[in-house]
Structure 1
């Protein structure tokens, strides 16, 4: 294991100042929170932290795990369970001005960010004594905070990239730029990635997905509801082209938008792109010219540095010929302007104030309703974490992950897994052949808690003082080189898809494992001193959610070895689909009065909704098992099962700005948190019994209409 970034003196100083309390997923097939909705890069600006003096100790929730002061006991649980558990909190809480949403996840992300700030500024404080990774992180952060130097540079860091686009003389050269964008900035219609092969889980393979849109999901281009967003987007394209010194910014902006609209029409829908039965389509590299003519594929693959890959697994196969055709038919100058806009858009947050403000005004303020930009230190922390997240994570776990947390989580996971096994045995709708496969899959589940055992080596990453954009680009190239070098090689089963300081969790279908970073193992999710019922409702529900991702509408298509194959009998699969459709209809029935016409997309959110329902169901079973036949104590007048359901609802405390909620509904795969607080409970009989919910209550669902999957 690599040496920590922290000197002994730094550890001591930080420990005195803040006593220790208790990157994006590579294959987060089932991810707990909207942070994994990568299409929400701009829509859910949720990385803000508290002030410079923010506490770095996790808050406890009440005396036994529930913030009873945040409840509204005048609300009937059967009318509004979110309001019952969190109504007073919601009424008395303002969304911070540098956020577009707020809630339990955001509180912990603030805490994690404050802790990381302390670490990073500790490296900066070491001065010339800092070496290795500590020195690099310090340089990343210090350079980002030097606003005067960044302002003096203006658009100069961007100039070489725009000059390269201006120099493009033909579409073959543009294909080079699209390929090079894999490890840099720029637009591409064909996004490349490297991950575990779904049909050969022990090997890495090259994947290709549709790309090319700057406004998010195709619906943003094609649905009349989003006309205001489209109009403002065209103005934003023109603004960035003008800032970059591109010719005819207004005319080119309209042409860029028209091109992207055509691209959107060629794209698959989000629901289609989720379907693992359709998204594994291997194509030999030599066959791309025939299957998707009109694009120089060899130049593209060479520029991306993936010539060693004999094939690519294409996700949206029928979209690729259309996209190649659009490229072939498009005017070269339009394609160059499209490329110039995306390069500028991606680089803007790392440039001078004019670029930063333009980017924020559109991406965060207009699209997500966020009133104010995050403080610069917050953006600096994110910049350093993006480049060297695991290096920072090494020291994070030394200070903030107590050893006994893992042991207690091991026990919880074991109980929830046992409850899932019991549920499988009890299922009346599933036949024995499918049950045998399901049991084998459950038995093979892997578990990672807290942090990796080995850490990324950043020795080859070059970081230069005062070169903010260059540092980000070298980091992107460093990551891409790391990924592309693995094509065809053995999968690293020990690798993590999230850093320890990430407040989230995930399930990987190809590794058949569930992963819980250190930062989520804190109140309100997990508190070793809280009432067990609350822990089972909170982190137990999270554990169950991730386990169920192995058995949701897409996770069920892989077996216990991570292999994409159909292990279901046709009869059992049909019964599953009937129940899943009922669940989707329940969620699609929810209305959002402040956003007329907006609904949850039941097919897109299906995996997450099944994860919530099944996860909480097996968490309840695990809690009952933990009682070992003894009655649960009554605390403050609440039964054990009442406390469990309240623990679940408390986790999903969420407030939204209207624009951010719209973005989540359009681009996300998760139902909004305030819906998740109560929606799965309506299908669990025990919730009705616990809170005396009757047929006269608005949340009532008749027993015969309740969804019973896992």
Structure 2
């Protein structure tokens, strides 16, 4: 089951920076390190003109993106650093399992690494399913087919997920949402005047044809053309990424018995029965009802032969990473190279680790935290989070744009925040998952259905407040408004985000900024629509809405003026929530840092004041490089701005930055005080 929690706002991996030599390792005994990679500072670029390049310039000039990566930065570096650790955990399980979960881990990994068997099987693992689709005689079979695809994680024109009801957070609800495209965004199909997108679409059609040919389709070229035309028709009726950000607009409640009225030509009763939803839910949510209404006509107008070819293509695409080398190579040639710019596929063991993690992530994470997450890291993080929450509480009281009644509501929400650090209190039970050492694709499909059933079985049961949406070994963090919780997995608690050997300044600027970012998501343009119990409820006065809109509109304009590539602007509306998170989070982290000093003056280390190290800590986090095709995908799909703008764009709105680096009128980083956006 695909996760479709549009409101689960996470800190994105695409906006990352490269790791660096740990400055703490160079510090004299008994003296805190600065935590700043001073070897990467470019003194030829003034901090007042381009803070991102000043802090990271020598890294940018000397670092090459690895051949198997589309981008490179701190998130990616930490992810890569965890891979050998996870490999050892997994290979130890494969060699000598100590319990049933380790047996599953070892068997899954072994099935991926048995390349000889995968080559021998060729297309055989999907041949029966391809034949089953080919035998479909009329469109009455589509509800059953789409339901099977949903259960097995194969792309279909629409999908479903289970999450908390946005207007009754004590219940789980089924949510249906648009899906079905093989390219990253509808713009790839619709923006005919964009030469790069048009080229990607043409190459996509060739790729579809090649994959169909590998699977034995004698009419691959004709079918590929029809498939792309069908996906284009779907793209035309889909909501944009900006429209998808509105949780109120996406909350459309239907009685289960009447949801079929959206698509009279589609047998929803048969579909709901096949998905297992029938009888488990009296009502459902439809995120984009106009899409479903329009899809009914698209399905009616599209020839059955095209729909069957489309289904076969999506089945092949989903299975490709687990089939023979010909499928793997062609899949990478398009998605890895054409769309992302990477020139080499990842080594097989890394792909095996990723797939094993996708299936058994928490079972691996349980061992990972035992081996790689010291208890003192969690204790220090708890102090940081406490200080950030205190600073945010104080910040609310000083706001000049929010009315007293709404400030009271904001304080109530903040007081109800839940913090999760490192790893879950309760580990996931994998006893119902069957893994076979000689059945790679079967293992993947069973894992997908296992996850689907886990979600489906939530219906009618109490909310599981111990659940995590990420594994401990994930280099990321998130805020979930339905739970009103901030979550920080163990793997992000490493340099440059968190350096236990460094002075507090860099840690407050880095992981403190990340903590503040996630707290701020509870009060960004989406998160602020939820109350402290996780319900969509308008707790703002008209005056608050007006003042907030004025500030956020200014932020949209600021970021909309940034351009990482000629002809491609940052989408200020799509990235608004993350930009609020960055700007507000860093401002609150700065206040928390000042509170931590308790009136004392921070030491000068490496010639840098505490305030300078604080802001450079933030800029280091967003050090990154990205290949052009991947940058285009990010601009079109990612709610995060590119790394250089997460650094510079945020700095230009921070009063403390101006003081720390003596930024004045005429400097390129300068914004007049009336143009600076300060929200929380």
TM-score bracket for this pair, using the shorter chain length: over 0.9
**Matching residue of 1:199:** 167
Deviations 1:458-495 (A, max 9, x none): 11100112111000000000000111111132110011
Match of 1:253 in 2: 224
Unpaired segments ≥5 residues, structure 1: 1-22, 38-43
Match of 2:255 in 1: 284
User: 1:117 deviation in Å?
Assistant: 0.7
Unaligned runs of 5+ in 2: 28-32
Contact 2:256 / 2:281 at 8 angstroms: preserved in 1? yes
- Deviations along 1:85-128, whole A, 9 cap, x unmatched? 111111111111110100111111011122101111111221xx
Map of 1:602 onto structure 2: 572
1:218 maps to 186
**CA distance in structure 2 between the aligned counterparts of 1:656 and 1:59, rounded to whole angstroms:** 28
Q: Return the offset for 1:31.
A: 4.0
Note closer, same or farther for the CA distance 1:312–1:246 as it changes in structure 2 (3 Å cut).
Answer: farther
* Secondary structure at 1:208 match in 2: strand
**Is the 8 Å Cα contact of residues 155 and 351 (structure 1) preserved in structure 2?**
yes
1:84-483 matches, within 5 Å, as 84-126=54-96, 130-224=98-192, 225=194, 226-307=197-278, 308-483=280-455
| Contact persistence 1:448–1:516 (CA under 8 A) | yes
Question: Partner residue of 2:676?
Answer: 706
Find the counterpart in structure 2 of residue 640 from structure 1.
610
In structure 2, the residue matched to 1:616 is 586
Q: Given that residues 30 and 607 in structure 1 are in contact (C-alpha distance below 8 angstroms), is that contact kept between their aligned partners in structure 2?
A: no
Q: Does 1:490 align with 2:468?
A: no
Query: Could you tell me how far apart the structure 1 residues matched to 2:576 and 2:209 are?
Result: 38
2:659 paired residue among 689, 695, 704: 689
1:477/1:60 CA distance change after superposition, 3 Å? farther
SS of 1:286's partner is coil
Distance, in Å, in 2 between the alignment partners of 1:389 and 1:60 is 31
- Normalised by the size of structure 1, how large is the TM-score? 0.92
For residues 277 and 326 of structure 1, what CA distance do their matches in structure 2 show? 26
Measured in 1, the distance between the counterparts of 2:370 and 2:289 equals: 46
Instruction: Assess, with a 3 A threshold, how the Cα gap between structure 1 residues 164 and 25 changes in structure 2: closer, same or farther.
Output: closer
Residue number in structure 2 paired with 1:523: 495
1:658 to 628, 632, 642: 628
- What is the alpha-carbon distance in structure 2 between the residues aligned to residue 683 and residue 98 of structure 1? 36
State the Cα RMSD in Å. 2.0
Q: 1:60 to 1:27 in 2, by over 3 A?
A: farther
**Cα distance in 2 for residues equivalent to 1:693 and 1:58:** 27
Secondary structure in 2 aligned to 1:183?
helix
Contact 1:28/1:506, CA 8 A, preserved across alignment: no
Aligned to 2:478: 506
The CA deviation at 1:186 is 3.3
Question: For the structure 1 residues 106 and 640, does the alpha-carbon distance in structure 2 shift closer, same or farther, using more than 3 Å as the test?
Answer: same
The CA deviation string for residues 405-425 of structure 1, in whole angstroms up to 9 with x for no partner, is 111111111111111111111
For residue 332 of structure 1, report the CA deviation from its aligned partner: 0.6
Give me the whole-angstrom Cα distance separating, in 2, the residues matched to 1:95 and 1:692: 34
What does residue 631 of structure 1 align with? 601
Q: CA deviation at 1:135?
A: 1.0
Aligned to 1:5: none
| 8 Å Cα contact 1:202-1:490 kept in structure 2 | yes
Matched, 1:80 2:58: no
1:30·1:546 contact (CA, 8 Å) conserved in 2? Answer: no
Between stretches 183-192 and 260-269, larger displacement belongs to 183-192
- Give the aligned partner of residue 4 of structure 1: none
Partner SS state of residue 326, structure 2: helix
CA distance in structure 2 between the partners assigned to 1:531 and 1:190 by the alignment: 50
Please give the alpha-carbon distance, in whole angstroms, between the structure 2 residues aligned to 1:189 and 1:60. 52
What is the rounded CA distance, in whole Å, between the counterparts of 2:270 and 2:613 in structure 1? 60
1:520-547 CA-partner distances (Å, limit 9, x unpaired):
1111111222110101000100000000
Cα deviation for residue 291 of structure 1 reads 2.6
Q: Distance in 2 between matches of 1:524 and 1:60?
A: 13
- SS of equivalent to 2:339: helix
Q: Report SS of the residue matched to 1:251.
A: helix
Contact map agreement 2:339 2:633 (CA 8 A) in 1:
yes
Q: Which residue of 2 is the match for residue 16 of structure 1?
A: none
Query: In the TM superposition, what is the alpha-carbon distance from 1:59 to its structure 2 partner?
Result: 8.5
How high is the TM-score relative to the length of structure 2?
0.96
SS for the counterpart of 1:116 is: helix
Determine the structure 2 residue equivalent to 1:537.
509
Q: Deviations over 1:611-636 (max 9, x none)?
A: 00000000000001111111121112
Report deviation, 1:674.
2.2
Distance of 1:177 and 1:25 partners within structure 2: 20
Q: Once superposed, which parts of structure 1, at least 4 consecutive aligned residues long, lie more than 6 Å away?
A: 23-26
Residue 182 of structure 1, CA deviation: 1.6
- Once the 2 structures are TM-superposed, how far is the Cα of residue 27 of structure 1 from its aligned partner? 4.5
SS of 1:34's equivalent? coil
Residue 185 (structure 1) shift: 4.6
SS in 2 for 1:507: strand
Q: Offset of 1:440 from its aligned partner? A: 0.4
SS of 2:648's partner is: coil
Distance of aligned partners of 1:400 and 1:509 in 2 relative to their CA distance in 1, 3 Å threshold? same
Instruction: Name the SS of the counterpart of 1:598 in structure 2.
Output: coil
Structure 1 position 71 matched with structure 2 position 49: no
